[in-house]
Amino acid sequence: TAKKLLILPGDGIGQEVMVQVRRIIDWMGKKRNISFDITEGLIGGSAYDVHGTPLADETLADAMSADAVLLGAVGGPKWDDLPFDKKPERGLLKIRKEMGLFANLRPATVFDALVDASTLKADVVQGLDIMIVRELTGGLYFGQPRGIETLPNGERKGVNTLTYTTSEIQRIGRAAFDLARKRNKKLCSVDKANVLECTVLWREEMIKLQQTEYQDVELTHMYVDNAAMQLVRNPKQFDVMVTENMFGDILSDCAAMLTGSLGMLPSASLGAADANGNRKALYEPVHGSAPDIQGKDIANPLATILSFSMCLRYSFNMDAEADMIENAVKAVLKGGLRTADIMAPGKAKVSTSVMGESIIRELEKL
């Protein structure tokens, strides 16, 4: 049966880049005879304009019953002055929370043709292909107690707490080990076990998982400060990294810059697996709605196209089609076509739609 895909283009360039994904989906239907059961919905400001809320209950229900959700981006100046709970970003936070997406996957891939877009030297990043798995619903960003209190002596005190239960560590651990198994069977768990007890537990649980369920995957450990340094010094030593929420927030932004452009970065967020091993999942580019370039047909659609390819690989088990899309992206870049955000001397500057068209043309050749 056809996989159920909910498409939520959102606002701003989210809508423009999603048009290019729809072309790929049409192509897959016509040329590969693969069809999806697609529902399209509203999220963010465009949902507020129609429903008075950034995420309608009906859309959330569609998300809960879908095999995967593909999202563009939300937000824009038009909605900046709305009350807190009506803001576009609340729609995004709500859908992530309701779907229970506890694992955030952020690949950092350097395409050969784009080595010049990186901020680092070519030999450091050439061929880079790593994946950071960030725990997304626990850790320092959610731990209790938290807040700012006034002490009896009149001083004020700010508190945040780093907490993880064994089950929280095990589920992010399994998601990361499963991924490592699909890739190169190497997992680096990043912690601060020399200082933070919570991450001593984290390390112990990762070791237990490896010994009991994932003996085929090589597990290493690294302190987060060293990991930040190693990501810049020699990122190719890593394959899959798994880490705490805040550590992952920082490390994944650091890794993102190894690749050079926001317009190239896809992501996936995964929830719990059901009895059949299917996980709730949401795929989206890392970038936002880019109001500064909206409506100009210059946004880079590749981050969203690559998010769709992750969806094919991780939710739909369509590795062959995911490979085809990634190869088409490589070929187009190799041919010298660039959107403005990844522009370089000697390259042809193309629009969003021409980039999408060129991907289809490459797919035709593969």
CA distance 339 to 298: 6
| Among ligand NAI, Mg ion, none, residue 249 binds (CB under 5-8 Å by kind) | Mg ion
127 SS3 class: coil
- Using CB under 6 A, which residues numbered 272 to 331 contact ligand NAI? 284, 287-293, 299-300, 303
Which of 178/249 has CB closer to Mg ion? 249
Active site residue 157: no
Contact status: 123 vs ligand NAI (CB under 6 A) = no
Q: Is 72 annotated as a binding residue?
A: no
Comparing CA positions, the residue from 328, 314, 310, 355 lying closest to residue 107 is: 310
Place of tokens 């089950």: 167
Q: 152: cis peptide before it, omega within 30°?
A: no
* Sequence letter at residue 257: M
Torsion of Cα atoms, 42 then 48 then 52 then 55, to 10°: 50
Contact status: 249 vs Mg ion (CB under 5 A) = yes
Q: Is 80 annotated as a binding residue?
A: yes
| Shortest distance (Å) from residue 342 CB to Mg ion | 21
Helices (H) and strands (E) in the chain, counts: 12, 14
CA distance 12 to 312: 25
Active site residue 37: no
Active site residue 191: no
Which of 58/253 has CB closer to Mg ion? 253
Q: Is 78 annotated as a binding residue?
A: yes
Q: Is 89 annotated as a binding residue?
A: yes
Comparing CA positions, the residue from 113, 48, 359 lying closest to residue 259 is: 113
Q: Is 90 annotated as a binding residue?
A: no
- Which member of 4, 141, 186, 347 is catalytic? 141
| Among Mg ion, ligand NAI, none, residue 292 binds (CB under 5-8 Å by kind) | ligand NAI
| Among ligand NAI, Mg ion, none, residue 73 binds (CB under 5-8 Å by kind) | ligand NAI
| Shortest distance (Å) from residue 343 CB to ligand NAI | 10
Q: CA angle, 293 as apex, 287 and 295 as ends, to 5°?
A: 110
Contact status: 92 vs ligand NAI (CB under 6 A) = yes
CA distance 262 to 260: 7
Q: Which long-range contacts (C-beta less than 8 Å, at least 24 apart) are formed by 98-101? A: 98/60, 98/63, 98/64, 99/63, 99/64, 99/69, 99/269, 99/271, 99/280, 99/282, 100/137, 100/271, 100/272, 100/280, 101/136, 101/137, 101/269, 101/270, 101/271, 101/280, 101/281, 101/282
Q: State the greatest distance between any 2 C-alpha atoms of the chain, in Å, as a whole number.
A: 73
Sign of CA dihedral 61, 270, 304, 49: positive
Q: Interface mask (CB under 6 A) for ligand NAI, residues 47-76, using x and -? A: --------------------------xxxx
Which of 89/98 has CB closer to ligand NAI? 89
Q: Specify the length of the chain in residues.
A: 366
| Shortest distance (Å) from residue 358 CB to ligand NAI | 15
Which of 205/284 has CB closer to ligand NAI? 284
Which of 141/223 has CB closer to Mg ion? 141
End-to-end CA distance of the chain: 26
- Which member of 48, 67, 178, 192 is catalytic? 192
Active site residue 239: no
| Shortest distance (Å) from residue 60 CB to ligand NAI | 16
Q: Is 319 annotated as a binding residue?
A: no
| Shortest distance (Å) from residue 248 CB to Mg ion | 9
| Shortest distance (Å) from residue 6 CB to Mg ion | 25
- Which member of 37, 112, 216, 225 is catalytic? 225
Residue ranges binding Mg ion (CB under 5 A)? 249, 253
Residues annotated within the binding site for NAD(+) are 76-89, 288-300
Residue ranges binding ligand NAI (CB under 6 A)? 13, 73-76, 89, 92, 262-263, 284, 287-293, 299-300, 303, 341
Q: Which are the catalytic amino acids?
A: 141, 192, 225, 249, 253
